[in-house]
Amino acid sequence: MKKRAVILGSTGSIGRAALDVAGKNNEHIEIIGLSAHANADLLLEQTKLFHPRYVALTDREAYARFKKNNNTSSRLLDFDDGISALTALPDADLVLNAIVGAAGLKASLQTLEAGKRLALANKESMVIGGHLINGLIKQGQGELIPVDSEHSAIWQALKSGNKPEIRKLILTGSGGPFRTWPREKLDNVTIEQALNHPTWKMGPKITIDSATMMNKGLEIIEASFLFDVTSDKIEVVIHPQSIIHSLLEFIDSSVIAQMSYPDMRLPIAYAMFYPERRFSDNGHFSLTEMGQLTFESPDFAKFPLLKAAYDVTNKGGTLPAVFNAANEVAVAAFLRELIKFGQIPDIVINTVGKHVKRDNPAYEDIVDADRWGRQIAHELAGLN
C-alpha cells in the first residue's frame, strides 16, 4: 500500500531531495500535499509533476502569482491556514517538515497532534520546542523520525541497544569551508567563500551555519531532546570526509557507526519508508576508494558558537529559542552583506547574554522569546 505524504518546504534543498526520492519510488509513495514560502514558479513545476491534491504558500505575493498561473487540478489552500490544513489532512500518513527556521515549530506540533509521522528536517523545531514535541510523543500523539543525517545515524545505531545503555553520542561534522583557516582570517570572508561547502549541497542558511559551526551547535541541542541525554554525553568530532555521519557508544564500550556517501536523500528515504528500506541508485559503498577517514577535535576558540551551544543546552528554557533567533537574524544580515562573517558569533552570543530565561516554556513563551531574540539581534547588528 502506498504511503501518502505531505512535503512542507518542497522548493528548498531538502524538499527537492525528498521529491527526488518520491519520484524514484512512485510505486511506494504518493505526494498529496506541497508547500513553499515564496518560490511560486518552482512550486507550480512540482505541482504539474507530482499532482498533489493540495498546495500552500506562505508569501502573499507568491500566493497571488501561483493562484493566477495555476492551471492544474491541485487546490490552492487558503493563505492564512494552508500549512495547518496540510498537517491535518486525514489521508496523509506522514509529513516531512523541511521549513527553514523557527517558523517550522508550529507545523511540527500540528503534525504530531494529528497523529501522523513527522519526518523532521526542520531541526529548529526540536531546538526551540523539543520539550513540547517530546511531550506529545510521550502522550502517544504521532511519531518522529529525524531527517538530519547525524540524528538519523544515531537513530539507526540505537537499534543495536536502548537509550539507558548510551554512554556517548558522537556527532561528526566536516568542519566546513574554514576548518583549516586561521582564526584571524574569518572576520572578512566573502559570501561566496562561506557558501562553498566542501562535501554537502545545501541551502544558503544551513551552509552558512555549517561555516560558523552553528549548525553543529543546533544539532547538539536537537540531540539532547531527541535522545534524552545531557550535553556531557554529546561529543563533536570533525570528520572532513563526511562519510561517518555519527557514532553511538554504549556502556559496554562498543561503538556503532552509520556510514554512507554524503547525500541527504538517504536519511530522507529512511524517514519516509521506515521500517522498510528502499533501493538507492547511489552506487555501491567502497571503503577502498575512499582511501582514509580522518578525525580531529573541533577548535572551540575559532568556532565559539559551538561552545555556546553546550552552555545553551545545559541552561535550556527559552535560551535555545533566543540562540536560534539571533542566529537567523545574523545569517540573513550576512547574506545581504549588511554585516561581516565574523560578527555572526558576536551578535548571537551577546543576544543570549542579555536574555533572562523562562523555564518549561509554553508555546507562547517560545514565540515571545523568538521575537525578543530577533529584536535584540537586529539592534546589535545595527539594523534598526
With CA atoms as reference, report the closest residue to 98 among 116, 120, 114.
Answer: 120
The CATH number that domain 3-146 falls under is: 3.40.50.720
Grid cell in block for residue 47 = 505541482
**Cα dihedral value 310, 311, 313, 319, nearest 10:** -140
Prediction pTM value: 0.95
Angle between helix axes 149-157 and 265-273 (nearest 10 degrees) is 50
What is the predicted pLDDT for the residue at 235?
99
What is the predicted pLDDT for the residue at 283?
76
Distance CA 374, CA 220 (A): 22
Pairing status of strand 94-97 against strand 3-8: parallel
With CA atoms as reference, report the closest residue to 114 among 123, 102, 106, 124.
Answer: 106
What is the predicted pLDDT for the residue at 279?
74
Grid-cell match 491534491, residue found: 53
What is the predicted pLDDT for the residue at 304?
98
With CA atoms as reference, report the closest residue to 191 among 359, 337, 23.
Answer: 337
What is the predicted pLDDT for the residue at 282?
74
Residue ranges matching CATH 3.40.50.720 in the chain: 3-146
| pLDDT, one tens digit for every residue, the chain (384 residues) | 899 999 999 999 999 999 999 999 999 999 999 999 999 999 999 999 999 999 999 999 999 999 999 999 999 999 999 999 999 999 999 999 999 999 999 999 999 999 999 999 999 999 999 999 999 999 999 999 999 999 999 999 999 999 999 999 999 999 999 999 999 999 989 999 999 887 877 889 999 999 999 999 999 999 999 999 999 999 999 999 999 999 999 999 999 999 999 999 999 999 999 999 987 777 788 989 888 999 999 999 999 999 999 999 999 999 999 999 999 999 999 999 999 999 999 999 999 999 999 999 999 999 999 999 999 999 999 987
